[in-house]
């Protein structure tokens, strides 16, 4: 990043103002990044935990898998999945609300007696899968925002702040040199005047 500036007091003050803005923003950005990092980890852990629960629940149902051939999958549908929003470190993040299922009518007398339990099992597994998918998406959203925040932290910390500090240092040195030259020339002029007055 090339920073163009003039060697004067006004430019120095403007650069110092920009530097202060970045130095003030840096701790906030770092806190945001660490909060997002923790939320990403939490969402990933929750999704992996739900993966394990789904697998174990399906393994529990393995002994009765032959019965599922009789089951009519059109009896149950996901009617509505409610999403809410909450801000985490200034980022709007979806939160899973209620999951509503639509259960079609069926004849209790002509269907097997385990259908009621089967419907509840399917609702349970479907709800876990929806929740798992939700956590994966939440993780992706947060990860994307975290990457942008990390880039901004690195930009401020490793690029912009050092460049502004270097520019301010150059301006200060230039102004000091200019002042020293001015004082030296005044001294020379003063000694010449005093020598001419003495002659």
Q: Is residue 3 in some structural domain?
A: no
Q: Is residue 2 in some structural domain?
A: no
Q: Is residue 4 in some structural domain?
A: no
Q: Is residue 191 in some structural domain?
A: yes
Q: Which domain CATH number covers 79?
A: 1.10.287.3240
Angstrom distances, CA of residue 146 to CA of 31, 34, 35, 58: 11, 8, 9, 35
Task: Give the residues across from 103 on adjacent strands.
Answer: 76
Domain that holds residue 56: 9-198
Q: Is residue 86 in some structural domain?
A: yes
Q: Is residue 161 in some structural domain?
A: yes
What is the per-residue pLDDT across 66-84, written as a single tens digit (0 to 9) for each?
777 777 778 889 899 998 8
Residue entry with tokens 């999945």: 81
What is the per-residue pLDDT across 149-192, written as a single tens digit (0 to 9) for each?
999 999 999 999 999 999 999 999 999 999 888 888 888 888 88
Number of domains, the chain? 1
pLDDT computed for residue 145 by the predictor: 93
Question: From CA 21, how far away is CA 26, in angstroms rounded?
Answer: 9
What is the per-residue pLDDT across 4-61, written as a single tens digit (0 to 9) for each?
888 899 999 999 999 999 999 999 999 999 999 999 999 999 999 999 999 998 888 8
């Amino acid at each position: 990043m090339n920073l163009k500036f003039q060697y004067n007091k006004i430019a120095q003050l403007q650069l110092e103002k920009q530097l202060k803005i970045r130095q003030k923003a840096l701790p906030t950005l770092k806190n945001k990044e660490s909060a997002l990092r923790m939320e990403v980890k939490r969402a990933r852990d929750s999704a992996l935990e739900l993966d394990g629960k789904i697998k174990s629940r399906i393994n529990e149902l393995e002994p009765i898998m032959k019965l599922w051939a009789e089951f009519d999958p059109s009896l149950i549908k996901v009617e509505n999945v409610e999403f809410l929003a909450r801000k985490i470190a200034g980022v709007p993040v979806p939160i899973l609300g209620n999951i509503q299922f639509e259960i079609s009518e069926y004849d209790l007398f002509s269907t097997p007696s385990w259908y009621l339990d089967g419907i509840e099992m399917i609702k349970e597994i479907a709800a876990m899968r929806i929740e798992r998918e939700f956590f994966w998406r939440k993780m992706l959203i947060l990860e994307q925002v975290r990457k942008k925040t990390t880039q901004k932290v690195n930009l401020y910390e490793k690029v912009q702040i050092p460049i502004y500090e270097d520019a301010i240092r150059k301006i200060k040195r230039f102004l000091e040199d200019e002042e020293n030259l001015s004082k030296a020339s005044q001294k020379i002029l003063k000694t010449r005047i005093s020598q001419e007055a003495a002659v």
